[in-house]
């Protein structure tokens, strides 16, 4: 099937306006007989379900946690971007569009990204109206900060809990629709199959995770808002339950997977402390507004950070990238940290860490505060006390989190940080309307591949999730369902539902019947190790080829030796996890295949064979200016389809942050 | 920070489902590192149980960074364990020493029935939010975000109340199993913002009503909730809720029509 991205014709800034003015609409009476399934209630899913419910569609929403309020979006810390230009520092829709295209290393679609920038301002308006308590200035207006890869302050935030506040806002909107009867919420449910009727997605099979029962649910359309797949690496900053299962089932039903190898490794996370480690904790990018990153100039320096004098420190980001300094994009910052540690300059007991230091910021803020309070003659100690107060107000919860995990006080000594898997730019391929290659099946939020190219800028995932759910899908879904108003609800005893349910139940039975000797957790760890070492921050042909073979072998072993305790018809987290790990193993193989195919370095995808003399990523626009969309062709078999990327507005150039 | 290893004895509540009776089981756990989180210690124990062909202990968790509100264990009698303003997932094993015995139970409240072992059903909280914990604004209806300045102090107070993670520790800590701290946090979050003003009266009334319907107990000002709340939600919110509630009774404002 040729890929049609359905980008509307016309100048970049009128595409979305034209689309909205000309798309088909569904009248209110007809909406009531149209059913929509929304899988996932993170920012993308909760905003979509609430908005569609308000519009009059009959919505069923699903999540695997005990409440929609607990989706992984809750953990987002730093902020959300919007081109409001409240700071009068030169921001505009165009600049947000440009920064995002450049930040994505010219591997994203111009049309989608411009739409994202256009609706960004509405998102902030919507959230404030819904009661999201963003940070404010003394004058009562909204406050902003900067994030990496930009030179303006366009990030809105709520201390270090922005995701929480945004999700609670969307969740409350969702619960309001539940109370009105417009949305039926199914929590502790996991979607395990897409049901296809005559080539169209018409429902799902879901498992009630409390009773273990399988359920059939019909929908005129199915929206997957199921988040990213960073946990394929075992260790990541994602919540423990985040998984690829929904997207992977869709992929096997015909939805192409876009750019699976594009993974974001976030530069500032708390380093691994031992084998028992179950997840990694992010220290928000917002900290790079005020924290300075350094390592000792001397190799293998054993001294305490406080004993290392200013001139003995290498502020390597400021040295290498003077224009952006500590605020270079994530891929660049992560690679630079790895380079220093690999070269022997790392700190801490593992030597796989660098310092993130707030000493200078504390002093600077202390002085400003002293002046504000009219006390210019305070001692250095007093100034530091004031400065700590300011830093506490900005980042207090992050500092507390750091101290709880490491037992060290970051107000007194620099944080130790190291890159960790954080986000996946890849995901289900979607067109401009957010529809996958399966008619009637949509993907929103981190689950799709659409807007971030090869590297996502900080504070843009929250923006994209809410853009998709609040402002895009309400239009694009109507454009399809307008032609579906004559389709009656399909009864769930239809053979397609019966067959899909049988498929799911056979697979569960098969998993339970293996009765091997190795735990699910152990397989997951082994997969993660292969992925991190061979498809992680740096990749090469040899390693990727090895990884593919190792993963194939791991899959065989899993299906012959996994041990799952307990029963099918009960609350059984080990069984839930087994299904997810089985899908991760298959995805891991595709990620390596994609990384092997892409003979260039771009954004988060760094192939060691393709770099400049200075160690920067070397793109190959001639050969690889395309989205790699993979079609599932049977176990371990994938066919590549290319969507060429046309840059009509921005001219791709070597991405420089120097 | 000095790291060390320890051997522990765990007494954990096991219960197959809400139809059967539960009881404590004792498990030895060896070689626990002081650097582990409390839940990582449970991971180690569960791995051990799986390898011995036994059933692992079911517990709720997701983010493991103190923000999703999913984790929920009563540890040696205290909701979320010994550290103040902390969730179970953020508790680390350096809080314990070699030879310690640790008792772990689920949240206990009639309104939070046990699903399995340490996992309880907290959907009552969602239904309380459905009763009025929102601002009725449809997508696309909003004015410019800066059109309405909000006093910074009020905004900060609202934020502090909004930082409740809906974990239910307040209920587990309260001898009456009251949900007043949770409800008051939501009422305060919205009442302190001008956007929340139009629905103020019906909101307090309807949410408190739903709380009673769910079978949560009443508040007798004990304060155990505040002491165990991982997010430091203050009792002042309960005072505010009481004022809002009385306000809604006095004005005789409608009980229905929240949406
Ligand atoms: C620690 C951390 C901090 C971050 N900070 C920021 C930030 O400051 N700014 C920013 O812009 N971005 C940030 N991000 C990224 C951002 O949070 C995510 O990309 C975004 O929240 C994803 O939202 P979502 O709605 O797509 O998916 P999620 O929030 O992950 O939601 C997925 C939903 O799908 C459900 N689900 C999944 N599979 C199934 C299934 N099979 N059946 C049923 N339900 C299912 C889940 O229950 C859940 O409800 C951060 C990410 C992390 C990890
Ligand atoms: S008030 Fe505190 S203890 Fe109660 S649910 Fe909220 S965060 Fe948890
Ligand atoms: S697991 Fe999310 S708060 Fe503990």
For residue range B238-250, what is the model confidence (pLDDT) as tens digits? Answer: 999 999 999 888 7
A65 lines ligand 1 (CB under 6 A): yes
Beta bridge mates, A186:
A62
Interface test with B, best of A163, A172, A272, A283 (most B CBs within 10 A): A172
Annotate B99-152 with DSSP letters as a single string. Answer: T-EEEEE----TTS-EEETTEE--HHHHHHHHTT-S----TT----TTSS---H
pLDDT digit string (tens) for B3-22? 999 999 999 999 999 999 99
Rounded Cα distance, B16 and B58, in Å: 10
Beta bridge mates, A204:
A194, A217
pLDDT value at A199 more than 70 = yes
Which of A125, A135, A281 is facing B143, going by the closest CB pair? A125
Do B92 and B141 lie in one domain? The reply is no
Rounded Cα distance, B233 and A249, in Å: 41
The per-residue pLDDT for A558 is: 98
- In terms of residue numbers, what domain contains B17? 5-116
Percent of chain A predicted with pLDDT > 90 = 93
Contact by Cβ (8 Å): B139, B45: no
pLDDT class for B188, splitting at 50, 70, 90? Answer: very high
pLDDT value at A505 more than 70 = yes
Percent of chain A predicted with pLDDT > 70 = 100
Contact by Cβ (8 Å): A434, A112: no
In a domain, residue B257? The reply is: no
pLDDT class for A160, splitting at 50, 70, 90? Answer: confident
Q: Which residues of A435-459 are buried (b: 16+ CB within 10 A; e: fewer)?
A: bbbbebbbbbbbbbbbbbbbbbbbb
pLDDT digit string (tens) for B105-159? 999 999 999 999 999 999 999 999 999 999 999 999 899 999 999 999 999 999 9
pLDDT value at A150 more than 90 = no
Domain stop point among B116, B137, B164:
B116
Average pLDDT over residues A225-243: 98
DSSP annotation of A467: I
Testing ligand 2's pocket by substitution, the residue of B87, B90, B185, B226 carrying the most ligand atoms inside 8 A of its CB is B185
Q: Which domains does chain A have, with CATH numbers?
A: 266-420 (3.90.700.10), 507-644 (1.20.58.100)
In a domain, residue B256? The reply is: no
Rounded Cα distance, A65 and B62, in Å: 8
Residue whose entry in the numeric block shows the structure tokens 């990238």? A321
Average pLDDT over residues A93-103: 96
Structure tokens at A189: 């449910």
pLDDT digit string (tens) for A392-425? 988 888 999 999 999 999 999 999 999 999 999 9
Average pLDDT over residues A507-522: 97
pLDDT digit string (tens) for A323-355? 999 999 899 999 999 999 999 999 998 899 999
In a domain, residue B109? The reply is: yes
DSSP annotation of A448: B
Exposed (0-12), middle (13-18) or buried (19+): which is A36, by Cβ within 10 Å?
buried
Which of A124, A164, A185 is facing B67, going by the closest CB pair? A164
Give the closest ligand to the alpha carbon of residue B59: 3
pLDDT value at A476 more than 60 = yes
Kindly report the number of other CB atoms within 10 A of residue A275's CB atom.
Answer: 9
Contact by Cβ (8 Å): A467, A116: yes
pLDDT digit string (tens) for B195-236? 999 999 999 999 999 999 999 999 999 999 999 999 999 999
Average pLDDT over residues A29-55: 97
Do B24 and B138 lie in one domain? The reply is no
The per-residue pLDDT for B59 is: 98
Chain B residues whose CB is inside 8 A of the A180 CB are 259
Mean pLDDT of chain A: 96
Instruction: For A398, list phi and psi in degrees, rounded to 5.
Output: -70, -40
Do B83 and B135 lie in one domain? The reply is no
pLDDT digit string (tens) for A412-470? 999 999 999 999 999 999 999 999 999 999 999 999 999 999 999 999 999 999 999 99
Contact by Cβ (8 Å): A231, A521: no
Across the interface, do A176 and B162 touch by the CB < 8 Å criterion?
A: no
CATH of residue B151: 1.10.1060.10
Do B164 and B222 lie in one domain? The reply is yes
**Nearest residue to A404 via CA among B93, B67, B71, B169:** B93
Query: How far does chain B reach from its first CA to its final CA, in angstroms?
Result: 53
Contact by Cβ (8 Å): A215, A189: yes
pLDDT value at B256 more than 50 = no
pLDDT value at A78 more than 80 = yes
Do B86 and B62 lie in one domain? The reply is yes
B104 lines ligand 2 (CB under 6 A): no
Contact by Cβ (8 Å): B172, B137: no
pLDDT value at B252 more than 80 = no
Annotate B136-198 with DSSP letters as a single string. Answer: ---TT----TTSS---HHHHHHHHHHHT-----HHHHH-TT-B-HHHHHHHHHHHHTSGGGGG
Across the interface, do B123 and A470 touch by the CB < 8 Å criterion?
A: no
In a domain, residue B92? The reply is: yes
Contact by Cβ (8 Å): A627, A7: no
Do B135 and B191 lie in one domain? The reply is yes
Do B149 and B88 lie in one domain? The reply is no
pLDDT value at A2 more than 80 = no
In a domain, residue B259? The reply is: no
Do B111 and B153 lie in one domain? The reply is no
Average pLDDT over residues A217-244: 98
Exposed (0-12), middle (13-18) or buried (19+): which is A205, by Cβ within 10 Å?
buried
For the sheet with B23-33, list strands across it: B23-33, B5-14, B101-105, B74-75, B78-79
Q: List Cα–Cα distances, A193 to A34, A65, A183, A513, in angstroms.
A: 21, 18, 21, 21
In a domain, residue B187? The reply is: yes
Do B74 and B156 lie in one domain? The reply is no
pLDDT value at B254 more than 60 = no
Kindly report the number of other CB atoms within 10 A of residue B175's CB atom.
Answer: 9
The per-residue pLDDT for B1 is: 63
pTM: 0.97
Across the interface, do B134 and A173 touch by the CB < 8 Å criterion?
A: yes
Strand-pair category, B101-105 with B78-79: unpaired
Greatest pairwise CA separation for chain A in angstroms: 82
In a domain, residue B258? The reply is: no
**Is A288 labeled as catalytic in the residue annotation?**
no
Rounded Cα distance, B161 and A204, in Å: 38
Do B179 and B130 lie in one domain? The reply is yes
pLDDT value at A229 more than 80 = yes
**Cβ of residue A409 closer than 8 Å to a chain B Cβ:** no
Domain stop point among B116, B137, B155:
B116
Do B84 and B135 lie in one domain? The reply is no
Average pLDDT over residues A640-658: 92
pLDDT value at A384 more than 50 = yes
pLDDT digit string (tens) for A556-581? 999 999 999 999 999 999 999 999 99
> Helical H runs in A130-215?
162-179
Structure tokens at B166: 């809906």
The per-residue pLDDT for B255 is: 44
pLDDT value at B258 more than 50 = no
CATH of residue B18: 3.10.20.30
pLDDT value at B257 more than 80 = no
**Nearest residue to A172 via CA among B154, B202, B190, B171:** B190
Across the interface, do B139 and A179 touch by the CB < 8 Å criterion?
A: no
Domains in chain B: how many in total?
2
In a domain, residue B190? The reply is: yes
**A with B: how many residue pairs have Cβ under 8 Å apart?**
228
Do B29 and B139 lie in one domain? The reply is no
**Nearest residue to A162 via CA among A129, A125, A124:** A124
């Amino acid at each position: 099937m040729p890929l049609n991205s359905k980008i509307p014709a016309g100048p970049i800034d009128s595409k979305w306006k034209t689309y909205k003015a000309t798309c088909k609409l569904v009248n209110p009476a007809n909406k009531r007989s149209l059913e929509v399934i929304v899988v996932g209630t993170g920012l993308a899913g909760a905003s979509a379900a609430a908005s569609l419910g308000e519009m009059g569609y009959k919505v069923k929403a699903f999540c695997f946690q005990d409440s929609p309020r607990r989706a992984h979006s809750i953990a987002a810390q730093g902020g959300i971007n919007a081109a409001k230009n409240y700071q009068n520092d030169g921001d505009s829709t165009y600049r947000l569009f440009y920064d995002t295209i450049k930040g994505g290393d010219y591997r994203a679609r111009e049309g989608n990204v411009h739409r994202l920038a256009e609706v960004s301002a509405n998102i902030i308006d919507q959230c404030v109206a819904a009661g999201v308590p963003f940070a404010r200035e003394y004058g009562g207006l909204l406050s902003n900060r900067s994030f990496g890869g930009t030179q303006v302050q366009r990030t809105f935030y709520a201390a270090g809990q922005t995701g929480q506040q945004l999700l609670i806002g969307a969740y409350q909107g969702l619960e309001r629709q539940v109370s009105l009867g417009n949305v039926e919420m199914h929590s502790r449910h996991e979607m395990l199959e897409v049901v296809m009727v005559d080539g169209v997605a018409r429902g799902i099979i879901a498992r009630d995770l409390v009773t273990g029962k399988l359920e059939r649910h019909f929908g005129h359309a199915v929206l997957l808002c199921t988040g990213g797949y960073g946990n394929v690496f075992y260790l990541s900053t994602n919540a423990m339950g985040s998984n690829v299962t929904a997207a992977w089932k869709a992929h096997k039903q015909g939805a192409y997977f876009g750019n699976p190898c594009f993974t974001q490794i976030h530069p500032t996370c708390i380093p691994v402390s031992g084998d028992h480690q179950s997840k990694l904790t992010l220290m928000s990018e917002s900290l790079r507004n005020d924290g300075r990153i350094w390592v000792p100039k001397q190799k293998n320096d054993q001294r305490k950070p406080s004993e290392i004098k200013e001139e003995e420190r290498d502020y390597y980001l400021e040295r290498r990238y003077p224009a952006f300094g500590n605020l270079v994009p994530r891929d660049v910052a992560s690679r630079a940290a790895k380079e220093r540690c690999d070269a022997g300059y790392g700190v801490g007991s593992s030597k796989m860490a660098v310092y993130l230091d707030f000493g200078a910021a504390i002093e600077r803020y202390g002085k400003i505060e002293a002046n504000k309070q009219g006390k210019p003659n305070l001692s250095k100690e007093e100034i530091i006390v004031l400065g700590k107060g300011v830093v506490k107000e900005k980042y207090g919860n992050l500092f507390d989190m750091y101290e709880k995990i490491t037992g060290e006080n970051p107000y007194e000594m620099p944080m130790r940080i190291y890159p960790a898997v954080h986000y996946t730019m890849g995901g289900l391929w979607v067109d401009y309307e957010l529809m996958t290659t399966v008619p009637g099946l949509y993907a929103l939020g981190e689950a799709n591949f659409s807007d971030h190219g090869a590297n996502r800028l900080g504070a843009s995932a929250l923006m994209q999730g809410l853009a998709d759910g609040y402002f895009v899908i309400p239009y694009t879904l109507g454009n399809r369902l307008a032609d579906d108003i004559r389709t009656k609800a399909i009864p769930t005893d239809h053979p397609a539902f019966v067959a899909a349910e049988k498929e799911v139940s056979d697979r569960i039975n098969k998993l339970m019947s293996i009765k091997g000797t190795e735990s699910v957790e152990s397989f997951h760890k082994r997969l993660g190790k292969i992925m991190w070492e061979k498809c992680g921050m740096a990749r090469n042909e040899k390693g990727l080829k090895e990884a593919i073979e190792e993963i194939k072998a791991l899959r065989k072993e899993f299906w012959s030796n996994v041990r799952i305790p307990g029963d099918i018809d009960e609350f059984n987290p080990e069984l839930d996890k087994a299904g997810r790990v089985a899908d991760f193993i298959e995805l891991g193989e595709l990620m390596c295949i994609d990384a092997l195919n892409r003979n260039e370095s771009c954004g988060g995808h760094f192939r060691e064979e393709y770099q400049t003399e200075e160690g920067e990523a070397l793109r190959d626009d001639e050969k690889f200016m395309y989205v790699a969309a993979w079609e599932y062709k049977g176990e371990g078999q994938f066919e590549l389809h290319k969507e060429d990327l046309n840059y009509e507005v921005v001219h791709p150039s070597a991405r420089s942050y120097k | 920070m000095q790291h060390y290893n320890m051997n522990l004895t765990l007494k954990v509540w096991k219960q197959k489902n809400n139809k059967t009776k539960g009881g404590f089981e004792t498990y030895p756990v060896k070689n626990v590192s002081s650097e582990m989180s409390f839940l990582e210690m449970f991971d180690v124990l569960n791995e051990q149980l799986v390898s011995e062909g036994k059933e692992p202990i079911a517990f709720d968790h997701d983010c493991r960074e103190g923000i999703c509100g999913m984790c929920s264990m009563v540890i040696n009698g205290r909701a979320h364990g010994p550290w103040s303003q902390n969730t179970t997932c953020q508790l680390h094993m350096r809080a314990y020493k070699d030879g310690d015995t640790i008792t772990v139970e689920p949240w206990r409240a009639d309104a939070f029935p046990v699903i399995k072992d340490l996992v309880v059903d907290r959907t009552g909280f969602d239904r309380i939010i459905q009763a009025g914990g929102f601002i009725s604004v449809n997508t696309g209806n909003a004015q410019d975000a800066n059109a309405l300045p909000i006093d910074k102090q009020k905004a900060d107070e609202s934020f502090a109340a909004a930082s409740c993670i809906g974990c239910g520790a307040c209920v587990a800590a309260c001898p009456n199993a009251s949900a007043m701290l949770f409800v008051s946090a939501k009422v305060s979050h919205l009442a302190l913002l001008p956007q929340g003003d139009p629905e103020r009266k019906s909101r307090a009334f309807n949410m408190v009503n739903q709380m009673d319907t769910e079978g949560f107990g009443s508040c007798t000002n004990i304060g155990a909730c505040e002491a165990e709340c991982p997010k430091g939600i203050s009792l002042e919110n309960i005072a505010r809720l009481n004022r809002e509630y009385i306000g809604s009774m006095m004005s005789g404002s409608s009980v229905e029509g929240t949406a």
